[in-house]
Structure 1
Amino acid sequence: MERRNVGILGATGAVGQRFIQLLADHPWFNITWLAASDRSAGKTYAEACAWRLDTPLPERIANMVLQPNTPEAAGDSLPRIIFSSIDAPIAKELEPRFAAAGCAVISNSSAFRMGTDVPLVVPEVNFGHFEVLESQQTRKSSGGFLVTNPNCCAIGLVLPLAALQARFGIDKLFVATMQAVSGAGYPGVPSLDILGNVIPFIKNEEEKLQEEVGKLLGGVHLHGDAAIGFEAAPITVSAMCNRVPVLEGHTECVSVKLKTPANEAEILAAWAEFEPLAGKNPQSIFAGMHLPSAPAQPVAYEAGTTRPQPRLDLMRGNGMATTVGRLRPCTLFDWKFTLLSHNTVRGAAGAAILNAEILAVLGKFDFRKFPPVNSNASAAEGLVNA
Structure 2
Amino acid sequence: MSVRVGVLGATGAVGQRLIQLIDPHPEFELAAMTASESSAGKTYREAAKWRVDAPIPDGVAEMEVGATTPDDVPDDVDLIFSSLPSGVGAEVEPDFCRAGYVVSSNSSNGRMDEDVPLVVPEVNADHVDLLEVQRDGRGWDGALLKNPNCSTITMVPPLAALDGAFDLTDVRVSTLQAVSGAGYDGVTSMEIIDNAIPHIGGEEQKMESESRKLLGSFDGAEVELHGMDVAASCNRIATLDGHLENVWADTEEEVTVEAAEDAMAEVTGIDLPSSPEQLIKVFEEPDRPQPRLDRNVEDGMGVGVGGFRETTDGVQFNCLAHNTMRGAAGASVLNGELLNQRGYL
Determine if the alignment matches structure 1 residue 22 to structure 2 residue 3: no
Alpha-carbon offset, residue 305 of structure 1: 1.4
CA shift digits 1:256-275 (9 cap, x unpaired) = 10111122222111111112
- Mapped to 2, the partners of 1:363 and 1:78 lie a distance apart of 16
- Mapped to 2, the partners of 1:110 and 1:322 lie a distance apart of 21
- Mapped to 2, the partners of 1:187 and 1:156 lie a distance apart of 23
- Mapped to 2, the partners of 1:86 and 1:65 lie a distance apart of 18
Q: Which amino acid aligns with 2:258?
A: A
Residue 241 (structure 2) aligns with: 248
CA shift digits 1:331-374 (9 cap, x unpaired) = 5x421001110000000000011111111111111xxxxxxxxx
Determine if the alignment matches structure 1 residue 308 to structure 2 residue 307: no
Q: Which amino acid aligns with 1:301?
A: V
Asked whether the equivalents of residues 256 and 310 of structure 2 are also in contact (C-alpha less than 8 Å), the reply is no
The change in CA–CA distance for 1:87 and 1:209 in structure 2 (over 3 A counts) is same
Residue 37 (structure 2) aligns with: 38
Residue 2 (structure 2) aligns with: 3
Q: Which amino acid aligns with 1:69?
A: T
Q: Which amino acid aligns with 1:306?
A: D
Where do 4+ consecutive residues of structure 1 move more than 2 Å? 137-143
Matches within 5 A, 1:1-386: 2-74=1-73, 76-77=74-75, 79-137=77-135, 141-220=139-218, 222=219, 227-275=220-268, 277=270, 286=271, 291-331=272-312, 333-365=313-345
Structure whose CA Rg is larger: 1
Asked whether the equivalents of residues 133 and 139 of structure 1 are also in contact (C-alpha less than 8 Å), the reply is no
- Mapped to 2, the partners of 1:208 and 1:306 lie a distance apart of 28
3-state secondary structure, aligned to 1:116: coil
CA shift digits 1:71-104 (9 cap, x unpaired) = 0343x45512100000011000100000111111
Alpha-carbon offset, residue 141 of structure 1: 4.7
Q: Which amino acid aligns with 1:23?
A: I
- Mapped to 2, the partners of 1:267 and 1:181 lie a distance apart of 30
Alpha-carbon offset, residue 25 of structure 1: 0.5
Moved more, 44-53 or 141-150: 141-150
- Mapped to 2, the partners of 1:77 and 1:98 lie a distance apart of 11
| Identical-residue share of aligned pairs (%) | 45
Provide the alpha-carbon RMSD of the alignment: 1.4
Asked whether the equivalents of residues 100 and 138 of structure 1 are also in contact (C-alpha less than 8 Å), the reply is no
Q: Which runs of 5+ in 1 are unaligned?
A: 278-285, 366-386
- Mapped to 1, the partners of 2:75 and 2:9 lie a distance apart of 17
Count of matched residue pairs: 345
Q: Which amino acid aligns with 1:101?
A: A
CA shift digits 1:290-339 (9 cap, x unpaired) = x22101111110012110011111111110111000111125x4210011
3-state secondary structure, aligned to 1:256: strand
Q: Which amino acid aligns with 2:326?
A: R
- Mapped to 1, the partners of 2:301 and 2:335 lie a distance apart of 12
3-state secondary structure, aligned to 2:221: strand
- Mapped to 1, the partners of 2:196 and 2:67 lie a distance apart of 39
Q: TM-score, normalised by structure 1?
A: 0.87
3-state secondary structure, aligned to 2:248: strand
Alpha-carbon offset, residue 65 of structure 1: 0.2
Asked whether the equivalents of residues 254 and 337 of structure 1 are also in contact (C-alpha less than 8 Å), the reply is yes
Q: Which amino acid aligns with 1:247?
A: L
Q: Which runs of 5+ in 2 are unaligned?
A: none
Alpha-carbon offset, residue 203 of structure 1: 0.3
- Mapped to 2, the partners of 1:167 and 1:140 lie a distance apart of 37
- Mapped to 2, the partners of 1:142 and 1:326 lie a distance apart of 47
Asked whether the equivalents of residues 200 and 241 of structure 1 are also in contact (C-alpha less than 8 Å), the reply is yes
Alpha-carbon offset, residue 168 of structure 1: 0.8
Q: Which protein, 1 or 2, shows the higher relative CO under an 8 Å CA cutoff with sep ≥ 6?
A: 1
Asked whether the equivalents of residues 120 and 148 of structure 1 are also in contact (C-alpha less than 8 Å), the reply is yes
- Mapped to 2, the partners of 1:276 and 1:315 lie a distance apart of 16
CA shift digits 1:222-258 (9 cap, x unpaired) = 4xxxx22210000100100000000000000000101
Q: Which amino acid aligns with 1:343?
A: N
- Mapped to 2, the partners of 1:133 and 1:142 lie a distance apart of 11
- Mapped to 1, the partners of 2:150 and 2:269 lie a distance apart of 20
Asked whether the equivalents of residues 255 and 337 of structure 1 are also in contact (C-alpha less than 8 Å), the reply is yes
